[in-house]
Amino acid sequence: MTPASGSHAMHTRSRVYALVLRWLFAMLPVIGLAADSASSPPRFEGVASCASSLCHGSARPLSGHAVLQNEYVTWSQFDPHANAYRVLLEARSRRIAEQMGIGPAHKAPQCLACHAEVVPATRRGARHQLSDGIGCESCHGAAERWLPTHHQSPAVSHADNLARGLVALEQPNVRALVCTGCHVGDRNRFANHAMMAAGHPRLVFDLETYSELWRTSGGREHYRKRSAPPPAVWVAGILSATRRQFELLDAHAARSARADFSVYACHTCHRDLRVAAFGAAPAADSRAADPLAGAPGELRMQDGQLRLLLVVADALQLDSRELIAATRRLQVALNRDPGHLPVALREARQQLDALEAALTRRAWSTRDSREVLNVLLRAARSGAFPDPAAAEQAAMGLVMLLAELDLDRSRSAQIDALFATLRDDNAFDGRRFARVLEQIEKSAASR
């Protein structure tokens, strides 16, 4: 891809992702991230330490610089992360906390874990405030050691700042690990079934889509540099989210004989009693068509990301049979043999590691993106993403690939129609979803 075409692709992607915003923020009113729970010596200095007009508080972006220096203004005025704590004071959060009996939401540890920068008092700098929500250091790392030097390039290198605690967010796998800690969950931060039943929105996440929406919050760029092509960022997010799901299963296996219901696909249970409640169009042999299909009545783990991973492997001709077999054994353990869950998890992780190694060695080409798009369209149209949560993961990946291949032109109405099918879980119709996909597939094939 030439620099000119790359610039056009970025402009195109920002334009296309704007179509996702209405759907995304209806589904997930608050995007929450928090610092990793692992303790470390440096202090968190607070967002005010970055807010000077000579630092990141400039009223307008600087031209000719990779660092815009208006990042604080963009965060405070446009970034949903800045509202993460304040939303805990709203009526909806109060109702959720009251139903759960956990006291005020803005004081409850299970809420603050992802809605604020929770650190011990000994690690809070003079300007650190819990009410700042998800600020700079939630993602970039505790700033005490790198804050005084991170602007002194080239005298102080990026590697020097990383050694002082700056987080390498430019690396997709690192960013994915940070983001999925809250957007999927980890051993210490988890939107459990009680929260969901009390009214917390179910979690939605796609690393490339969310990175792009965050990067251009309110039409204001947060950064200009990109260190990896969008498909590579997308796959890094899929891998990390799948790994986090395994981590949640492992955590529950250690705590209880039965996993919390939130580790299962919500729509396995939350559907009406019709067999085809979501309007899916099953093949003659639905079990053969769906490699992750379980026995009738079996609860399915949250597998939207994993299903995407299998599509990518299929498109790139990577062998995923052992991962599929390990996932089936994991499903059986979850449903009928909890004593076997640790072994099944270990096997699934090993197969995920093997597939990850093959994917990370790959240099993404335009041909790869085109093939993944084609396979993803066919898979989604045939029912490989059988519920609203899985379907929305497929939709976000499709938008990214269409934009990356510059196939989004004149397809805004189709893309809008695609996300219209996902606005209401209760009204989701798999047949309608498939019809929109068929239109996109036909128009993409004509190019």
Is the distance from CB of 35 to CB of 138 less than 8 angstroms?
Answer: yes
φ and ψ of 257, to 5 deg: -70, -25
Angle at 57 between CA 156 and CA 211, to 5 degrees: 80
Which pLDDT belongs to residue 276? 58
For residues 371 and 318, give the distance between their C-alpha atoms in angstroms, rounded to a whole number: 13
Last residue of a domain, which of 112, 137, 166? 166
One-letter identity of residue 154: P
Together in a domain, 266 and 150: no
Q: Which of 143, 166, 189 is the last residue of a domain?
A: 166
Instruction: Name the domain boundary from 166, 186, 203.
Output: 166
Based on the fold, state whether residues 144 and 264 are members of the same structural domain.
no
Give residue 298's pLDDT: 86
Whether residue 391 is contained in a domain is answered as yes
189 found inside a domain: no
| Model pLDDT, residue 21 | 47
Residues (pLDDT < 50) of the chain are 1-12, 15-16, 18-19, 21-22, 24-39, 282-288
User: Hey, CA dihedral for 225, 229, 234, 238, is it positive or negative?
Assistant: negative
Distance of alpha carbon 189 from the chain centroid: 15
First to last CA, the chain: 18
In a domain, 388, yes or no: yes
Question: How many domains are there within the chain?
Answer: 2
Domain range for residue 127? 31-166
Q: pTM to 2 decimals? A: 0.87
Nearest in space to 383 (alpha carbons), one of 267, 227, 278: 278
pLDDT of residue 220: 72
DSSP state of 106: G
- Look at residue 203 in the predicted model and tell me its pLDDT: 93
Give pLDDT, residue 408.
83
Closest CA to 360 of 111, 85, 171: 171
Residues 240 and 161 in one domain: no
What is the model's pLDDT at position 447? 65
Amino acid at 49: S
> Which pLDDT score, from 0 to 100, does residue 162 have?
95
Q: Quick check: helix, strand or coil at residue 311?
A: helix
The single residue listed with the structure tokens 């190019």 is: 447
SS3 (DSSP) at 119: coil
Type of residue numbered 355: L
Would you give the DSSP letter of residue 301?
B
